[in-house]
Amino acid sequence: MSELACPKCHQPLIRAGRTYKCENNHNYDIAKRGYINLLLNPDKRHNNPGDSKESLIARKAYLDKGYYDPILHEVTHYIQEHAHKEMAILDLGCGEGYYAFKAKQILGDQNRYYALDISKEAINMATRYDQDITWIVGNSKNIPILDHSLDIIMALFTVVNANEIARTLKKDGYMIHVTANKNHLIEIKHLIYDEVHEKSDEFIRQPFPVIESYDFTKKVNINNREDALNLLKMTPHYYHIKKERRSVLDTLEALDITIDLRITVYAPWKQ
């Protein structure tokens, strides 16, 4: 069973050997690394959309150390408490694949796992974690998934499209959205910026009924320069460091950081 849909006509995709095909004869080959590229050219803003390779490598190195596992455990704990016998789960904006990989380890092999990112480089890296996850190069504005076929969407630190969320979730499905609060990584912000401005979350919140919403905060100690630098590089803040501030990187040895998040479970079907 597959929930994959053609990104051109949204008809079901059927696998035949190393190719997926829909009834309108749109064909998509499976890459040597095992992923499927369902990103249409009109969806691309440039040739290599998504996070840079440097950022992805840093993110993988940092997440592999387990620093953000408490966030993952919040998400998977909710899923476990509300689990069906078998579920179709999508990690939206999966990046290099760590969260999808670890979620599958925690939740079990009985579910069907999909993970999508607009970055081909990210998905290519993700395939090294687990070949049994369906890794997809695609756009969150045109999710190549059949209408009302997903039980759960995990969206951690990623922008989502409300129309696509409502279209792809089942009538009893839900999305777990993890977003940053004002004090998330506040220590890094103070290192980099002369003045820290609080941003509104008006455009992050989704227009769906909320099943549950709560703040999650935790202090994390990073005890070596390599991990601290990788954390910096996996955030947009690293690429906004002014020339006169770059000297802070030379003195960086360790870092105590604040995780400050809002975890929201949305249920579009309750509208």
**Can you spell out the DSSP letters for 153-167?**
EEEES----HHHHHH
Comparing 2-6, 160-164, 173-177, 231-235, the range with the smallest average pLDDT is: 231-235
- Return all residues near 31 (Cβ < 8 A) that are at least 6 apart: 37, 124
Return the SS3 of 26.
coil
Residue 192 has pLDDT above 90, yes or no: no
Q: Give the strands of the sheet with 134-137, arranged side by side.
A: 36-37, 134-137, 112-117, 88-92, 150-156, 169-180, 255-266, 210-222
Q: What is the pLDDT of residues 20-33, one digit of tens each?
A: 999 999 999 999 99
Share of the chain above pLDDT 90, in %: 75
Annotated binding residues for Zn(2+), written as ranges, equal 6, 9, 22, 26
Q: What is the pTM of this model?
A: 0.93
Q: Which residues are annotated as a binding site for S-adenosyl-L-methionine?
A: 68, 96-97, 184
Supply the pLDDT for residue 203: 65
Cβ neighbours of residue 149 closer than 8 Å, sequence gap 6 or more: 3, 88, 168, 170
Q: What's the CA angle centered on 58, arms 48 and 175, to 5 degrees?
A: 70
CA torsion angle for 162, 93, 240, 230 (degrees, to 10)? Answer: 150
Tokens of 151: 């039980």
Predicted confidence at residue 148, as pLDDT, reads: 97
Sort 46 into a burial class: Cβ within 10 Å, 0-12 / 13-18 / 19+: exposed
Q: What percent of the chain has pLDDT over 70?
A: 96
Q: How confident is the model at residue 142 (pLDDT cuts 50, 70, 90)?
A: very high
Query: Tens digits of per-residue pLDDT, 80-133?
Result: 999 878 999 999 999 999 999 999 999 999 999 999 999 999 999 999 999 999
> Is CATH 3.30.43.10 the right assignment for the domain spanning 34-270?
no
Confidence of residue 65 (pLDDT cuts 50, 70, 90): very high
Residue bearing the bigger pLDDT, 231 or 85: 231
**Which residues touch 154 (CB under 8 Å, ≥6 apart)?**
75, 89, 90, 91, 92, 99, 100, 103, 175, 176
Does residue 43 surpass a pLDDT of 70?
Answer: no
Residues making up the annotated binding site are 6, 9, 22, 26, 68, 96-97, 184
